[in-house]
Amino acid sequence: MKAPDFGSWFRRSEPETPDDIESAALRSDRFRLERESDWRRLDAIVSQMERGGLRRIEDKDLLDLPSFYRTAASSLSVARETTLDAATLTYLESLVQRAWFQVYGPREGFSRWLRSFLFGGWSRAVRAIWIDVSIALFVMVAGTIVGWILVAREAEWFYRLVPVTLAGDRVPGASRADLLSSLGPADNAGGLTAFAAFLFSNNAGVCILAFALGFAFGIPSLLLLVHNTAMLGAILWLFADAGLTLPFVGWLAVHGTTELFGILLSGAAGLHIGRSMAFPGRKSILEAAAHSGRESAVVMVGVVIMMIVAGLLEAFPRQLVSDTGSRLMIGGGFLVFWLTYFFLYRPPTDGKA
């Protein structure tokens, strides 16, 4: 916005008497002449910054920017309390608003935000909810054990825990050869891209649901974790009973170390919200939910990334790699990576190396 023609602006005001005209003109002219040069310099600096030319601005102008901003803000305050020309007031309001954004407003672009998120922000957010992560991990382990015990005592529990569409031919009574063949690689890579998209959608849906259910004091989130891991325990018992524990663990580890870790974090994020609502402390329930929701949202952004990785791993390496040792190395490598990133990688909070 270009600096206005103050002379023409002040001439637009038409007081009712000659004395009013003379008084307003003198007051406006004095006010303008004392500050107009600073307004114009501030306008020029802000305009240059808005055009993305920050690197071409002289250091002196950058250092003077806060001072010019305060001068313009003070002028605006005076203009609002007097009978100065309305056009001058409009110009100052616009100038102060634009300058405020350049002085105090966020200027972080997406690439800078992504770098800050990946190189410290995400891992700090996970460590901040370590209590909820520990609780969710305990629940998932307990759910797996419960699923194993139920099916080991009565095989009918398998059909209650594992959907038919997921089980396929992997059911109690199936031969060892059939179970082993279900762990084999795909004959070709055709259609695996679409399969990866489907798996990502399904896995991300489970994680988002576990997070969203946290508003009910986290109880539904924990129940969802128990349900999913009880199903895992039932399938694990099936292959262990056939003497295929290691091949199954290798088959699962390729994508499971990432996928289960993501489900763990999403359940913990939901639990974090629910726990803060149940025990808000000195905050109101809404304030506690809002604060914990912002923290958990950072975790969930990362969970989406993990689900993308898990979908790709499940659709490609798991379907194309047949050797159990190689599968264990892939899954174990990703598990070490996630553990290192979340709990050992601790960059400075300012994002600098």
Quickly list DSSP for 104-137.
HS----HHHHHHHIIIIIHHHHHHHTHHHHHHHH
Nearby residues of 109 by Cβ (< 8 Å), 6 or more positions away: none
Nearby residues of 319 by Cβ (< 8 Å), 6 or more positions away: 185, 186, 189, 192, 195
Tokens (6 digits) for 51: 């055009």
User: What pLDDT shows up at residue 155?
Assistant: 92
User: Are the C-beta atoms of 257 and 335 separated by less than 8 Å?
Assistant: yes
**Cα–Cα distance, 40 to 73 (Å, whole number):** 14
> For tokens 């994508």, what's the residue?
255
Tokens (6 digits) for 199: 């798996």
Tokens (6 digits) for 37: 């040069």
**DSSP summary character for residue 283:** S
Tokens (6 digits) for 66: 């806060």
User: What pLDDT shows up at residue 8?
Assistant: 45
Q: Is 34 exposed, middle or buried (0-12, 13-18, 19+ CB in 10 A)?
A: exposed
With vertex at residue 300, the alpha carbon angle to CA 120 and CA 227, rounded to the nearest 5 degrees, is 130
To the nearest 10°, the Cα dihedral for 324, 326, 332, 335? -110
Cα 109 to its chain centre, rounded Å, is: 15
pLDDT by residue for the chain (353 residues), tens only, comes to: 445 554 444 444 444 555 554 555 556 667 777 778 888 888 888 888 777 656 667 777 777 777 888 888 888 777 777 655 677 778 888 888 888 877 765 555 567 778 889 999 999 999 999 999 999 999 999 999 999 999 999 999 999 998 887 777 889 989 999 899 888 876 554 555 665 566 667 677 788 888 888 888 889 999 999 998 999 999 999 999 999 999 999 999 999 999 999 999 999 999 999 999 998 888 888 888 888 988 899 999 999 899 889 888 888 888 888 899 999 999 999 999 999 999 999 887 654 43
Q: Write out pLDDT tens, residues 288-298.
A: 888 898 889 99
**Cα–Cα distance, 65 to 85 (Å, whole number):** 26
User: Are the C-beta atoms of 148 and 141 separated by less than 8 Å?
Assistant: no
User: What pLDDT shows up at residue 7?
Assistant: 46
User: Are the C-beta atoms of 89 and 80 separated by less than 8 Å?
Assistant: yes
What residue type is assigned to position 211 of the chain? F
Across 247-265, b (16+ Cβ under 10 Å) vs e yields: bbbbbbbbbbbbbbbbbbb
User: What pLDDT shows up at residue 299?
Assistant: 95
pTM for this entry: 0.69
User: What pLDDT shows up at residue 229?
Assistant: 93
User: What pLDDT shows up at residue 26?
Assistant: 54
Q: Of 275, 268, 277, 260, which is closest to residue 296 (Cα–Cα)?
A: 268
User: Are the C-beta atoms of 36 and 91 separated by less than 8 Å?
Assistant: no
**Dihedral sign computed on CA atoms, order 126, 128, 132, 135:** positive
**DSSP summary character for residue 340:** I
Tokens (6 digits) for 160: 């209650």
Q: Is 95 exposed, middle or buried (0-12, 13-18, 19+ CB in 10 A)?
A: buried
SS3 239: helix
User: What pLDDT shows up at residue 186?
Assistant: 64
> For tokens 């349900």, what's the residue?
227
Structural domain spans, the chain: 6-104, 111-344
Q: Of 353, 342, 351, 348, which is closest to residue 128 (Cα–Cα)?
A: 342
User: What pLDDT shows up at residue 110?
Assistant: 67
Q: How many CA within 13 A on the CB side of residue 301? A: 13
